[in-house]
Structure 1
Amino acid sequence: MPPRLQVKNEDCSPLGLYVLQYLEEQDISMNHLAELTGVPQPRLRGACFKGTCPTPETLRKLAKIMGKHHLELYTLAYQGRIEQVPEDVDDNLLDILIRQMLETARELNLAMPKVQPSKAKIRKALMELGFREKREEIP
């Protein structure tokens, strides 16, 4: 019988750490989680490692079982891979902001909009959240 492959914390991405925490809290195995999600166990285990790129389908299936929105898991899976963030923005601020928005929507039992809001509505909401217009500095 081959040795059991185990996922270690130090080898995990933020998503992997979250999955391991979930397994511990639910007192279930990776195999059982794979059965629940319908994701093959090797693919699920592989999604937990640093540097991997889980498919959106895997993230959606995993999120459904874990009671999360798939975008929350997406931000964990791809943490640190968002490019072209302005230099003066704290590295963690964008991830924290996205997670906070999704967590608040879930706590308030809000469903995702069926139609994408207009840019004007998004701008108004962002301004109410404390975003501000950038002022170009005059030399």
Structure 2
Amino acid sequence: MPARLQIKAEDCSPLGQFILRYLEENQISMNRLAELSGVPQPRLRGACFKGTCPTPETLRKLARVIGKNHLELYTLAYEGRIEQLPETAEEDSLDRLIRELFDTARELELTAPKVLPSKAKIRKALLELGFLEENADRA
């Protein structure tokens, strides 16, 4: 059984809380996860705390070991940092939308694209999903 962690969940970002759950569920230590992922233990530990900004490379390395897409970890790492949501949006609507996209992709056995789609492709997909242009209501 791994040593008791000195990090408290209440001090952690959503990513840190996810990492702590992963360690507990898999009965491994932070040091072991650092070894498996190739992320130095101090960097891994630091990525767990609120207000930290783990690098995309750290998130990619962790994702490979944990079995998640690195974009899912990125979402957890930066959750709550996206500001100026529309006034009508619920506080957690963006997070729920991103998680739903990944859940659906997993169910359909799809993987995330290696290259970010163009804004035009993203716009077309959003319109097909039922999103409306802001000025469409005013016309």
Structure-1 residue corresponding to 2:7: 7
Matched, 1:36 2:36: yes
Q: Which AA in structure 1 matches 2:64?
A: K
Gaps of 5+ in 1: none
Amino acid in structure 1 at the alignment position of 2:81: R
Q: Which runs of 5+ in 2 are unaligned?
A: none
Deviation at 1:35, TM superposition (A): 0.6
The aligned residue for residue 20 of structure 1 is 20
CA root-mean-square deviation: 2.1
SS at 1:83 equivalent:
coil
How far has the Cα of 1:44 moved from its partner?
A: 0.2
Q: Residues of 2 paired with 1:57 and 1:119: CA distance?
A: 24
* Cα separation, 2, equivalents of 1:124 and 1:26: 41
Which one is further off, 107-116 or 59-68?
A: 107-116
Look up the SS of the partner of 2:134 in the other structure. coil
Match of 1:55 in 2: 55
Q: Identify the residue that residue 91 of structure 1 maps to in structure 2.
A: 91
Q: Which region of structure 1 is more displaced relative to structure 2, 121-130 or 58-67?
A: 121-130
Separation of aligned partners in 2, 1:72 and 1:55: 14
User: TM-score, normalised on structure 1?
Assistant: 0.84
Q: C-alpha distance in 1, partners of 2:32/2:107? A: 27
Q: Which residue of 2 aligns with 1:123?
A: 123
What whole-Å deviation, never above 9, does each CA across 1:48-78 have from its counterpart, x for those lacking one? 0011111111111011111111111111101
Deviation of 1:85 after TM superposition, in Å, equals 2.3
Q: Is the CA contact 2:31–2:41 (under 8 Å) kept in the aligned structure 1? A: yes
Number of equivalent positions: 135
Of all paired residues, the percent bearing the same amino acid is: 72
Q: 1:6 Cα deviation (Å)?
A: 1.0
Q: How does 1:55-74 map to 2 (within 5 A)?
A: 55-74=55-74
Q: Deviations over 1:109-139 (max 9, x none)?
A: 213335554545433322333322324548x
Q: Is the 8 A contact 2:69 2:112 kept in 1?
A: no
Q: TM-score, normalised by structure 2?
A: 0.84
